């Protein structure tokens, strides 16, 4: 009986020590996590302080907005600021124009969807997932638009990018300036093509081939 009590006593002491060590480690992890968060300044709700914000210049019809912390879209309103990491989509009757400082101006046609991947002053990255969008870049920074496997780089130019889901293609129309198109073809070869005002670049999403018209 005495041996059983001794074993039980050691077991309870060991259990208490294990719980104490676990609690100590949890507290240490919380402190380290807090220090790391403060050191990096990362915030899920707010974009990096050096990134710019977009302003709604005009809006009509149904336009939706997905914030950095949301899982469902909400109606976009004229006073809404747009941050890096947020998305905007237009319905069948929706149109919206967005101004980002005096650097980039874009207008979205109905049934279009874009994602503001990066809005740093010298380098903007936007992902266009559907529809037709016209982009104007002042030349103060470099604007890159990603559409599937195609990257379009604009520096002081105006373009329209239209995604056609029926033909599985992307058409880039250069309205002003010189535009660069970059992609990796089906043979894993990197290709860069310049198009100038008045030309169109048509990219076949399936075959990863591009032609200039």
User: Is 70 exceeded by the pLDDT of residue 37?
Assistant: no
Cβ-based neighbours of 129, under 8 Å, separated by 6 or more: 113, 114, 115, 147, 163
User: Is 90 exceeded by the pLDDT of residue 27?
Assistant: no
User: Is 70 exceeded by the pLDDT of residue 36?
Assistant: no
User: Is 90 exceeded by the pLDDT of residue 44?
Assistant: no
CB-based contact 74:87 (threshold 8 Å) = no
Cβ-based neighbours of 190, under 8 Å, separated by 6 or more: 182, 183, 184
Question: What is the per-residue pLDDT across 111-155, written as a single tens digit (0 to 9) for each?
Answer: 999 999 999 998 999 999 999 999 999 988 899 999 999 999 998
User: Is 60 exceeded by the pLDDT of residue 182?
Assistant: yes
Place of tokens 């030349």: 139
Question: The whole model's pTM is what?
Answer: 0.79
Q: Average pLDDT, stretch 8-21?
A: 43
Domain 54-212 has CATH 3.40.50.720: no
Q: What was the pLDDT predicted at 49?
A: 82
Q: What was the pLDDT predicted at 43?
A: 57
CB-based contact 153:143 (threshold 8 Å) = yes
Q: Is pLDDT larger for residue 9 or for residue 72?
A: 72
The domain ranges of the chain are 1-42, 54-212
User: Is 80 exceeded by the pLDDT of residue 30?
Assistant: no
Q: What was the pLDDT predicted at 15?
A: 42
With b meaning 16 or more CB within 10 Å and e meaning fewer, what string describes 130-141? bbbbbbbbeeeb
Q: What was the pLDDT predicted at 21?
A: 42
> Which of 103, 112, 94 lies closest to 53, judged by CA?
103
């Amino acid at each position: 009986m005495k041996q059983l009590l001794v074993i039980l006593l050691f077991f309870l002491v060991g259990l208490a020590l294990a719980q104490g060590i676990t609690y100590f480690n949890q507290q240490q992890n919380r402190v380290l996590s807090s220090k790391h968060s403060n050191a990096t300044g990362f915030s899920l709700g707010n974009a990096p302080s050096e990134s710019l914000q977009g302003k709604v210049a005009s809006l009509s019809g149904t336009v939706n907005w997905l914030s950095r912390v949301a899982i469902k879209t909400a109606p976009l309103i004229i006073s809404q600021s747009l941050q890096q990491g947020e998305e905007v989509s237009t319905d069948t009757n929706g149109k919206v124009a967005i101004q980002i400082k005096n650097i980039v101006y874009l207008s979205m046609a109905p049934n279009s969807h874009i994602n503001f991947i990066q809005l740093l002053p010298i380098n903007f990255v936007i992902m266009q997932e559907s529809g037709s969008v016209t982009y104007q870049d002042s030349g103060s920074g470099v604007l890159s638009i990603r559409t599937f496997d195609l990257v379009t780089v604009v520096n002081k130019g105006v373009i329209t990018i239209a995604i056609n889901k029926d033909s599985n293609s992307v058409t880039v129309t250069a309205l002003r300036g010189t535009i660069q198109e970059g992609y990796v073809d089906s043979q894993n070869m990197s290709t860069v093509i310049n198009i100038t005002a008045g030309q169109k670049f048509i990219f076949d999403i399936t075959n990863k081939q591009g032609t200039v018209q």
